[in-house]
Structure 1
Amino acid sequence: MARVVVVGGGFGGMAAAARLARLGHEVTLLERSEQLGGALTTVRHGDFAWDAGPTSTLLPAVVRDLFRKSGRPLERELDLQPLDVVREHRFDDGSAMQLPGGSRAAQLAAFDALGTGLGRQWVDHVASYGETWELLRKEWYERPFDPDVAPRELMTLLGRRESLHKRLRQSLRDDRLRLVAGHRLVMDGHDLRQAPVLAGVDVYLEQRFGAWTVPGGLAALGTAMADRLALRGVTVLTGTPATDLVVREGRVTAVRTPGGEVDADQVVVAVDPRRLPALASYVRRTMPAFPPVVCHVGLEGDVPDLPHEVVLHGDPLLVVRTGGRAPDGAAAWTVLGRGRIAEDLLTALARHGLDVRAQVVARVDRTPRDLVDAWGGSPHGVLWQGPRTARARLGPRTPVAGVLAAGAHATTGSGLPFAGLSAALVAEMVGRAPRRTSGQ
């Protein structure tokens, strides 16, 4: 049985800890804040509550596999439901479209309603990612990368210098389609001119598998994961920041905290490695992708009837999420902003015809710095700075023996499914604890 210390109590860290405990290891999880979950937590103000971070996820099979491999199946813990409409997009020219998930035919019809022939452009673009996703899934997300044995197709994909910005301009002739295709990456803080083509695979995942949420808020997933750690006997130390790794003769032996050293045979780093001096030098050429500006509001009275998420394209780029919890007769929205934000987010929202300023009865504002400080890093992981970024970040292996990396900063995708895949990969690399023989 190995003593494994997991640094970071976000989704990636909790997923790694649960899997490793199920494999028979003695697992301790260190979390700097007073609660687990990272971005998978709840913001509260009076009778209102909002998801602090994501409100939906892709690739539900990743979450189902996590729960199945660590104990009771997901269906006994959470009601994960598909979204009929992934989001609504509203454009500067006054046009709008609702993007369905999980259906090629439905997306074809939705884009054709936006303009004749646009449906075919869209589905052809999405289809171009089919082989890319299968290659990445098998050889990148589900297998530790080793350049000496990696297939030639993967090395070619990772080395391709074409930017996603260029690809979108070539394959999508309508500006609105390009905005839809790049939306997730832009909201995660990336410049499409610096993002490689492989980063655009999310459009394929949305069409093929849909987007999913939990009624009442996706933060319930964080709560369920915390319960799973307790079930698996993981020692959870909240309010315990990891200040560095203790490395002796080239191998990790402990994690240093303000209260002393926590001995370890293996360490899984599920936080931004810049926070640990022993790893910081290895990622000095990378940068984190910072969160957007966030405004949680509680509204009274009649408010516009909006789907789960509405994207208002322009500069600034605004997103409205409506899935917060509110008293009867009220509503809870979250407004996010990216770009040139020279005025209050609600004022910018009013310029798009959604003026709810007079109905605000509760409000919580968060800057990108507030969010990074609260979560101990960015849940959006590493900023794309060209194709080399894919191999410049750490994960799952690191240069320090006995140290693996999981979570948002250890993967090239953004969001819960990619953090979950990285946790599964780390658990597979550590492997099952040897069974004790009689007499031991």
Structure 2
Amino acid sequence: MARVVVVGGGYGGLASAARLAKLGHQVTLVERLPELGGALERVEADGFGWDAGPTYTLLPAVLRDLFRKSGRPLERELELEQLEVVREHRFEDDTRVRVPAGTRGAQLAAFDELEPGLGQRWVDHVASYTDDWEVLRRGYLEEPWTPGALPREVAARLDSRETLHKRLRRTFRDERLRLVAGHPFVADGHELRNVPAWAGLQAYVEQRFGAWTVPGGMSELAGALRARLATRKVEVLTSTTALDLVLREGRAVAVATDAGELDADVVVCAVDPRRLPALAPYVARTTPAIPPVVCHVGVEGDLPALADLPPELVLHGDPMLVVRTGGTAPDGATALTVHGRGRLAEDILRALARHRIDLRHGLVTRVDRSPRDLVEHWGGSPLGVLWQGRSTVRQRLGPRTPVEGVYAAGASATPGSGLPFVGLSAALVAQAVGPA
């Protein structure tokens, strides 16, 4: 039985701790905030509630595998609900498209409604990622890897010079299709010229496996994992800051915290490695992806602009605004979250009103968070590492690190942000560490 210290109580840390405890290790989890969950936390004000971070997930099999391999099946703990529509895109020419998830035929029909013939172009683009997904899933996303010993097919994709910007320009004449395909990366703060083309396989994942949410909010997932840690007898130290690794002859033997040292045979870094000076030099060439401007809004009354809103609405332009529904609210009221990217030179609700969605007259409450607020609160970016070209993927840490006995999980250890990639990173750490 190894003594394992997991640094970070976000989704990556929770998932790593649950898996390693089930494998028979003695696990301690350290979190600097008073509560576990990280970006899965819930924001509340004046009777309204909002997800602080993600509002849905892809690849539900990752969640099911986590719960099955750490105890009871997911279905006994949480309800997963499939979304019919992932998001709606509204363009500057007043056209729009609602993108269904989980079926090729529904997406083909949706894009043909935007303009006849676009449906086939879209589904052909998505299908072009089939081989990328299978190769990277088998040799990279689901198997522990080391940069110098990647399978040839995996290395060929990771080292390709083709960017997503270049692929989309070559594939689509219609700018609207380019905007839809590039949106997940633009929303996370990336420049498409710096994103490798293979990363666009997210469109394939959405189409094939669908998008899923948890009734009541994704914070319910954090609650279920907290309960799972208690069942697995994980020692949880909240309001405790990890300061650094304690090394002896190049190996981690403890984690230094503001409450003293925690002896460890294995350490899992599930936070931005920059927060641990012993790991910071290994990620010096990477940069965090900066979160958007966020405004959680509570409104009351029958506002026509809110009729038939999808779970996520993308308003293209500069700034680009994203409206997310699904929060909880008192009777007769509605909870929404608005994200802003780009040249946001005015109040975000005023910018939203320019798109004929005016929430100001029914406004009851709002909670504003700047990118700096979010990074300082969480101690890092839940969006992981900024794409700065093809080399970025090899400059991350995880699942192993150059320090013996230290592993990495979480958003900073994955080739993409979001719950599926973070969940896969925790599974890789558990495989690399192995059973007690």
Question: TM-score category by the smaller chain?
Answer: over 0.9
Alignment check: 8 A CA contact 2:146 2:400 kept: no
Name the residue aligned to 1:343.
Answer: 346
Whole-Å separation in 1 of the counterparts to 2:268 and 2:248: 17
Name the residue aligned to 1:261.
Answer: 261
Counterpart code for 2:166: K
Q: How does 1:67-78 map to 2 (within 5 A)?
A: 67-78=67-78
380, 389, 394: which one aligns with 2:392: 389
Whole-Å separation in 2 of the counterparts to 1:328 and 1:319: 24
Name the residue aligned to 1:183.
Answer: 183
Whole-Å separation in 2 of the counterparts to 1:417 and 1:200: 15
For residues 319-378 of structure 1, what are the alpha-carbon distances to aligned partners after superposition, in whole Å with 9 as ceiling and x for unaligned?
A: 001111000000000000111110111011000010111111011000011111111111
355, 365, 371: which one aligns with 1:368: 371
Whole-Å separation in 1 of the counterparts to 2:243 and 2:147: 32
| Residue segments in structure 2 that go unaligned for 5+ positions in a row | none
Whole-Å separation in 1 of the counterparts to 2:146 and 2:214: 37
Two-structure CA RMSD over aligned residues (Å): 0.8
Query: SS at the partner of 1:319?
Result: strand
Name the residue aligned to 2:414.
Answer: 411
Name the residue aligned to 1:330.
Answer: 333
Q: Greater shift after overlay, 276-285 or 303-312? A: 303-312
Whole-Å separation in 1 of the counterparts to 2:413 and 2:342: 26
Name the residue aligned to 1:44.
Answer: 44
For residues 178-204 of structure 1, what are the alpha-carbon distances to aligned partners after superposition, in whole Å with 9 as ceiling and x for unaligned?
A: 111011111111110100011111100
Alignment check: 8 A CA contact 2:300 2:334 kept: yes
Residue 56 of structure 1 pairs with residue 59 of structure 2: no
For residues 107-147 of structure 1, what are the alpha-carbon distances to aligned partners after superposition, in whole Å with 9 as ceiling and x for unaligned?
A: 00000110111011100100011110111111111112234
Whole-Å separation in 1 of the counterparts to 2:144 and 2:288: 22
Name the residue aligned to 1:436.
Answer: none
Deviation for aligned residue 1:152: 1.5
Residue 112 of structure 1 pairs with residue 107 of structure 2: no
Name the residue aligned to 2:252.
Answer: 252
| Residue segments in structure 1 that go unaligned for 5+ positions in a row | 434-440
Residue 301 of structure 1 pairs with residue 301 of structure 2: yes
Whole-Å separation in 2 of the counterparts to 1:22 and 1:282: 30
Alignment check: 8 A CA contact 2:82 2:213 kept: yes
Query: SS at the partner of 2:252?
Result: strand
Alignment check: 8 A CA contact 2:400 2:432 kept: no
Counterpart code for 2:321: L
Whole-Å separation in 2 of the counterparts to 1:195 and 1:352: 29
Q: Structure 1 length normalisation: TM-score?
A: 0.97
Residue 22 of structure 1 pairs with residue 22 of structure 2: yes
Counterpart code for 1:309: E
Whole-Å separation in 1 of the counterparts to 2:234 and 2:145: 28
Query: SS at the partner of 2:279?
Result: helix
Name the residue aligned to 2:431.
Answer: 428
1:321/1:148 Cα in 2 relative to 1: closer, same or farther (>3 Å)?
closer
Alignment check: 8 A CA contact 2:60 2:212 kept: yes
Whole-Å separation in 2 of the counterparts to 1:140 and 1:189: 24
Whole-Å separation in 2 of the counterparts to 1:144 and 1:186: 29
Whole-Å separation in 1 of the counterparts to 2:409 and 2:107: 33
Counterpart code for 1:25: H
Query: SS at the partner of 1:268?
Result: strand
Percentage of pairs with the same residue? 68
**Count of residue pairs the alignment pairs up:** 433
Whole-Å separation in 2 of the counterparts to 1:144 and 1:365: 39
Q: Structure 2 length normalisation: TM-score?
A: 0.98
Query: SS at the partner of 1:193?
Result: helix
Deviation for aligned residue 1:148: 4.6
Deviation for aligned residue 1:388: 0.1
Whole-Å separation in 2 of the counterparts to 1:424 and 1:276: 22
For residues 288-309 of structure 1, what are the alpha-carbon distances to aligned partners after superposition, in whole Å with 9 as ceiling and x for unaligned?
A: 0011000001001013221111
Name the residue aligned to 2:239.
Answer: 239
Whole-Å separation in 2 of the counterparts to 1:392 and 1:372: 21
Deviation for aligned residue 1:219: 1.0
For residues 219-244 of structure 1, what are the alpha-carbon distances to aligned partners after superposition, in whole Å with 9 as ceiling and x for unaligned?
A: 11011111111111000000011010
Query: SS at the partner of 1:267?
Result: strand
Counterpart code for 1:137: R
Query: SS at the partner of 2:57?
Result: coil
Counterpart code for 1:350: A
Whole-Å separation in 2 of the counterparts to 1:10 and 1:294: 19
Whole-Å separation in 2 of the counterparts to 1:146 and 1:373: 31
Deviation for aligned residue 1:151: 2.1
Whole-Å separation in 2 of the counterparts to 1:427 and 1:136: 19
Counterpart code for 2:418: G
Residue 314 of structure 1 pairs with residue 305 of structure 2: no
Name the residue aligned to 2:229.
Answer: 229
Name the residue aligned to 2:141.
Answer: 141
Q: How does 1:268-283 map to 2 (within 5 A)?
A: 268-283=268-283
Alignment check: 8 A CA contact 2:190 2:387 kept: yes
Counterpart code for 1:324: G
1:117/1:29 Cα in 2 relative to 1: closer, same or farther (>3 Å)?
same
Whole-Å separation in 2 of the counterparts to 1:154 and 1:309: 33
Name the residue aligned to 1:398.
Answer: 401
* TM superposition outliers: structure 1 runs of 4+ over 6 Å: none
Name the residue aligned to 1:438.
Answer: none
Residue 286 of structure 1 pairs with residue 283 of structure 2: no
Name the residue aligned to 1:92.
Answer: 92
